[in-house]
Structure 1
Amino acid sequence: MSRSRKLHRLGNPDTDERRAQRMLFRHLRDDSNANRGRMTRRVHELQLLLAMDPVAFEQLIARLMEAMGMKVELTARSRDGGVDVRGIDTDPFRGGNVIVQVKRYRDTVTPSAVRDLYGTLQHDQAATKAVLVTTSRFGPSSHQFVTGKPITLINGAELVGLLKHHGFHEVFAAAGSGAAAGGAAGDLPPVEVAAEPARLLLHWTGEQEYDIAALVCRGNRALSDEHLVFYNNGSTPDGSVRLVTGYGDANACLMVDFDALPAEADRLVIVAAADTENHPGSTMGDFAGPALILEPGADQASAVVHLADGAPSNTAMRLGRFDRDSAEDWDLTPALAGYPGGLRQAVVAYGLEVDDA
């Protein structure tokens, strides 16, 4: 395999458009008063979920899965074997039989609960993947454990975001006034609020499938092999960047907790690549009308950046990079570059070794 680091440039937006795009993304950190207001609302939203009847909560997760396009079956509580909901994801590329466990917790979910779900998955002859949903959060060891395994972890902030994204706003109607179901929010114990991740969505036109990848870097070097997130490694060790599915109006989606990125990281690089393994001969030539959409969460407005089309001479394409500045803001630069050698060439360009074998 060629180890060439030469980057073949594609067209870049003009200076005025690039400046406007950078300004769109300069709102990942907000003033403390606005942030406190959002955190208060998120506490109330999670308290509403915690106050739900357990069966009603499981039914809500089942309805959410149906809204995401799955065929769903609630399991009998007396013989669920640790599984609360079963679903069939009919997506022809990423689908499968899904088992879901829900935990209405106020504190961090223990790693043992994650390991137990993995054991359930291994002994379930029908299931191909598992999802653990909680109203609280997961620690770094849990995220590290599921790396490379067909398990998805959804924390409380992400659950609220998914419910709102799929139209379940009525669930949180009382949160605006601070009242939780059955009484005032202050009557419930404190809730440990997970960090609000940003959703980085990638859209393109046409039916050709492409993979999205992210490299967590210091300068132009990835921190480690584990800090390359792609179809074969769905999360960084700390869970700060994760590849997720379930956003029906997006071709691909990354969850990014910018505040949780490693302290030594100052750059996040986003790459799209043709699936040459399953579709030999495919290129970036059909990567038409691409756009990056940032949904920062916490009810902030989305930001959209339109990018140049791909070229048939390349099999991977760098879409842009987020850079951390001295004020701890993350700014996007739509720095486009093509890689004839595909994702491998992109990985090598950022200092990672690739085993040709």
Structure 2
Amino acid sequence: MSRSRKLHRLSNPDAAEHRAQRMLFRHLRDDTNANRGRMAKRVRELQLLLAMDPVEFEQLIARLMEAMGMKVELTARSRDGGVDVRGIDTDPFRGGHVIVQVKRHRDTVTPSAVRDLYGTLQHDPAATKAVLVTTSRFGPSSHQFVTGKPITLINGAELVGLLKHHGFHEVFAAARFGADGGPDGEELPPVDVPSEPARLLLHWVGDEEYDIAALVCRGNRALSDEHLVFYNNGSTPDGSVRLLTGYGDANACLMVDFDALPAEADRLVVVAAADTHNHPTATMGGFAGPALILEPGADEDPAVVHLADGAPTNTAMRLGRFDRDAAGDWDFTPALAGYPGGLHQAVIAYGLEVDDA
């Protein structure tokens, strides 16, 4: 097992700052009054989406895509193989032609719907990726099916977060004031709220490209190869940790459902790595002014940790780790370490075997 070389330590914060940082990154437990209040509001928000007219809902998704920088086209209903919206992502690195299907569902979306969308993607000569958006949730089978495929699943809680992040607060005005009915006074439908993943955003300064990766661990060992989430494996088998592209102005983004992480997992390690596959001479030397931002939920203030710059002697860098305590809460520790051998070395350090070929 390779040992990681220490990059350098951050200056120790004073006691008050350290306590504030730990509280910022600590997830509220389900039995707190504050969390119950947020949950009630989230129910109303999802109810409002579920009560929307189908065409209006598709138009909302199209507007969201435009706000994310895409060129968008609404398709003719029932004439495009189940595709509701088409978009062109102009990002030079991760862009492409996106097909989107939206489902205003109250119950969990079936795996067959996900497989059908994949079939549509395979038979569409212009499309390079697909997105399935729902007001409900997806099960573990769906998340496992899309692993390694150019498909993104966005559940209701994630959709609420994306809409708010991109300024669509007016959609949820009735929920903000605790209204029990829809915009026209009708009774809102019942809805089961999916757990809301946290958004773990990585920012840095400069034009260099870096990737974010996560290892779901028990102690200092990853649970399995499938619990390494990176550019070649976009999700854990249960979907509790996933890569997300095109999230606002973030350079990179992980969606983490801390409540859905495996029971045996007690650590989540976050790593940044240079893209040495496409740029063999790349190092962490251009990783300047990095900041790790945790957005715990749509209605909670983000927490920010400013990290030390990368070093040109390394091609990957451990940014820190989340640890689960005995009470089930997760705390973050900015534990920096450099890896001259890149993500390959970082993976080996956490007990995974790597085929050098």
Which TM-score applies when normalising by structure 1? 0.96
Q: Equivalents in 2 of 1:298, 1:61: separation in Å? A: 17
Q: CA deviation at 1:38?
A: 1.1
**In structure 2, what is the equivalent of residue 13 of structure 1?**
11
Residue equivalent to 1:156: 156
- Does the 8 A contact of 1:18 with 1:333 survive in 2? no
Q: Which moved more, 1:3-12 or 1:269-278?
A: 3-12
Give the C-alpha shift of residue 179 in structure 1.
3.4
Offset at residue 10 of structure 1 (A) = 2.0
Deviation for aligned residue 1:21: 2.7
Q: After superposing the two structures, state which structure 1 stretch, 302-311 or 13-22, moved more.
A: 13-22
Q: Name 2:313's counterpart in structure 1.
A: 313
Distance 1:141 1:25 in 2: 30
SS of equivalent residue, structure 1 residue 348: helix
Look up the SS of the partner of 2:203 in the other structure.
Answer: strand
Contact 2:160 2:298 in 1 (8 A): no
SS at 1:346's partner residue?
Answer: helix
Q: Supply the distance in 1 between the matched residues of 2:160 and 2:54 (Cα, whole angstroms).
A: 17
Once residues 103 and 51 of structure 1 are traced to their aligned partners in structure 2, the CA distance between those partners, rounded to angstroms, is 12
Residue 138 of structure 1: how far off its partner (Å): 0.2
CA contact (8 A) 1:273 1:315 kept: yes
Normalising by the residue count of structure 2, what TM-score does the alignment of the two structures yield?
A: 0.96
In the alignment, the residues of structure 1 paired with residue 351 and residue 18 of structure 2 have an alpha-carbon distance, to the nearest angstrom, of 27
Q: Is the 8 A contact 1:26 1:329 kept in 2?
A: yes
Q: 1:212 to 1:145 in 2, by over 3 A?
A: same
Kept in 2: contact 1:18–1:334 (CA 8 A): no
Aligned equivalents of 2:31, 2:206: Cα separation in 1: 40
Output aligned runs, 1:276-291, within 5 Å: 276-291=276-291
Q: Indicate the larger mover: 268-277 or 298-307.
A: 298-307
Matched with 2:100 is 100
Q: Work out the CA distance in 1 between the residues paired with 2:291 and 2:92.
A: 23
Q: SS at 1:5's partner residue?
A: coil
- Give the length in aligned residue pairs: 354
Q: Is the 8 A contact 1:108 1:192 kept in 2?
A: no
AA in 1 matched with 2:44: H
Unpaired runs of 5+ residues, structure 1, are none
Q: Is the 8 A contact 2:83 2:100 kept in 1?
A: yes
Q: Given that residues 287 and 309 in structure 1 are in contact (C-alpha distance below 8 angstroms), is that contact kept between their aligned partners in structure 2? A: yes
Give the 3-state SS of the residue equivalent to 2:171 in structure 1.
Answer: helix
Give the structure 1 partner of residue 179 of structure 2.
178
1:88-143 Cα shifts (integer Å, max 9, x gaps): 00011110000000000000000000000000000000000000000000000000
User: Residues 221 and 350 of structure 2 are in contact (CA less than 8 Å); yes or no, is this contact kept in structure 1?
Assistant: yes
CA distance in 2, matches of 1:214, 1:43: 30
Aligned AA (2:111): P
Seq. identity, %:
85
Q: By how many angstroms is 1:183 displaced? A: 5.3
Q: Which residue of 2 aligns with 1:113?
A: 113
Moved over 4 A (4+): 17-20, 182-185
CA distance in 2 between counterparts of 1:219 and 1:270 reads 14
1:11-39 C-alpha deviation (Å, 9 max, x unpaired): 32314255543332124436521111111
Deviates more, 1:261-270 or 1:44-53: 44-53
Deviations 1:60-87 (A, max 9, x none): 0000000000000000114121100000
2:208 corresponding residue in structure 1: 208
- Which residue identity lines up with residue 232 of structure 1 in the other structure? N
1:347 aligned to 2:347? yes
Answer with 236-245 or 35-44: which moved more.
Answer: 35-44
